[in-house]
């Protein structure tokens, strides 16, 4: 059975110095998020991005570990991001990493959609939770 969780989140994205990249079109960043709504949690993550902001095109990958409560169930899980932007048109895939759920979120699977409206971030997590055997 698939369940939906909705809410908002605040995010801090901080650029990290990475002398190995040594390329202005590439960056490494940290993520620090606070989720509100059906998911009351925090997350920490890492992002790698490349592109040309002036043209509105680029791509990123990220991994973030989420810790908190999903509709009352406590635990952690990991989200994997894959995003591209082509002249301002965004395509984003965010999935729960299989096997990453812990505690009451063991067996969690699903995908998250993210919308940004007037600078405010919204999420919808479509998920299922396998029963522990």
Query: Which pTM value belongs to this model?
Result: 0.92
Tell me what pLDDT residue 111 has. 98
Tens-digit pLDDT profile for residues 88-125? 888 999 999 999 999 999 999 999 999 999 999 999 99
CB 8 within 8 Å of CB 37: yes
**Radius of gyration for the chain, computed over Cα atoms and rounded to the nearest angstrom:** 16
CATH classification for the domain delimited by 3-129, as one of 3.40.50.300, 1.10.10.60, 2.40.350.10, 3.40.190.10: 2.40.350.10
Can you read off the two tokens belonging to residue 59? 């791509």
Ranges of beta strands (E only) in the chain are: 3-16, 26-37, 39-52, 57-70, 73-86, 89-96, 108-117, 120-129
pLDDT tens for the chain, 133 residues: list them: 789 999 999 999 999 987 877 888 899 999 999 999 999 999 999 999 999 878 889 999 999 999 999 999 999 999 999 999 998 888 999 999 999 999 999 999 999 999 999 999 999 999 999 875 4
Tell me what pLDDT residue 32 has. 98
């Amino acid at each position: 059975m698939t369940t939906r969780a909705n809410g908002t989140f605040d995010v801090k994205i901080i650029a990290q110095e990475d002398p190995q990249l040594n390329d202005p079109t590439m960056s490494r960043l940290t993520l620090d998020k606070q989720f509100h709504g059906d998911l009351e949690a925090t997350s920490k993550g890492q992002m790698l991005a490349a592109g040309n902001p002036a043209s509105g095109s680029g791509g990123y990958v990220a991994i973030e570990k989420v810790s908190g409560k999903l509709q009352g169930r406590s635990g952690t899980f990991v989200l994997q991001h894959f995003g591209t932007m082509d002249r301002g048109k965004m395509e984003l895939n965010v999935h729960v990493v299989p096997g990453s759920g812990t505690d009451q979120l063991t067996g969690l699977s699903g995908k998250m959609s993210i919308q940004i409206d007037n600078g405010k971030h919204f999420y919808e997590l479509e998920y299922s939770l396998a029963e522990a055997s």
